[in-house]
């Protein structure tokens, strides 16, 4: 006789078939971006997902946990850029260009998640922690700009922090207008941003 534990069939998940945690997360992030995180209730999420609220809790314990997972999708990949060989070796201006290209690649690949990150207001401890990680990322870029200025590859008449803000002001604005899958590829987008920025920065 077969072992009953081995042949036991788990109960079917409630709601639409095919949902896993990541698909729930992706749809939830789209809803957060549309309505605002604070204004989005679990009831609104359930309506957009077409499942019950209890079915959402099967995947995540809370709305805050959805936010945590979403922010890690964005911040984890951005922070990983700084550990890649192109960001840690070579001439400072080449390292800066590499980081900017890879940042744009992450933004395009994780567009909804980065959009959510950029719209945080810092109203909760989790949001404030995410904003602190963003500032640490920006600080690393500022140090890289400063190093490139000192070795003479970037112009030094503009403060390094100002350059960082201007560069990321441009890059971050991409979330407001870029449509993945259109005629403008992620690579061409990065080429255009680098060309526009570095023509005015390199000496």
Q: pLDDT tens, 71-110?
A: 999 999 999 999 999 999 999 999 999 999 999 999 999 9
Return the pLDDT at 22.
Answer: 86
Return the pLDDT at 6.
Answer: 42
The DSSP string of 113-153 is HHHHHHT----SHHHHHHHHHHHHHHHHHHHHHHHHHHTTS
Return the pLDDT at 9.
Answer: 39
Q: Does the global pTM surpass 0.85?
A: no
Same domain? For 78 and 23 the reply is no
Cβ contact 178:104 at 8 Å:
no
- Domain that includes residue 128, residue range: 67-198
Same domain? For 120 and 189 the reply is yes
193 to 123, 179, 199: CA distances (angstroms): 32, 16, 10
Can you list the residues of the chain whose pLDDT is less than 50?
1-17
Same domain? For 47 and 86 the reply is no
Return the pLDDT at 18.
Answer: 52
Return the pLDDT at 203.
Answer: 65
What CATH number does the domain containing 32 carry? 1.10.10.60
Return the pLDDT at 11.
Answer: 41
Return the pLDDT at 176.
Answer: 93
Same domain? For 82 and 181 the reply is yes
Same domain? For 157 and 187 the reply is yes
């Amino acid at each position: 006789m077969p072992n009953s534990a081995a042949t036991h069939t788990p109960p079917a998940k409630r709601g639409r078939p095919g949902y896993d945690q990541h698909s729930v997360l992706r749809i939830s992030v789209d809803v957060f971006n549309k309505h605002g995180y604070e204004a989005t209730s679990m009831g609104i999420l359930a309506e957009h997902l077409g499942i019950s609220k209890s079915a959402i809790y099967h995947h995540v314990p809370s709305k805050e946990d959805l936010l945590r997972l979403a922010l890690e999708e964005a911040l984890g990949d951005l922070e990983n850029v700084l550990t890649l060989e192109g960001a840690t070796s070579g001439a400072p201006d080449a390292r800066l260009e590499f980081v900017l290209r890879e940042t744009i690649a992450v933004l395009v690949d994780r567009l909804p998640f980065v959009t959510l990150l950029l719209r945080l207001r810092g109203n909760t401890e989790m949001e404030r922690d995410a904003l602190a990680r963003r500032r640490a990322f920006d600080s690393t870029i500022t140090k890289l700009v400063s190093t490139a200025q000192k070795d003479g590859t970037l112009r030094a008449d503009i403060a390094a922090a100002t350059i960082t803000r201007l560069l990321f002001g441009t890059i971050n604005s991409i979330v407001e207008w870029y449509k993945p899958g259109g005629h403008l590829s992620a690579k061409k987008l990065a080429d255009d941003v680098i060309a526009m920025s570095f023509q005015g920065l390199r000496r």
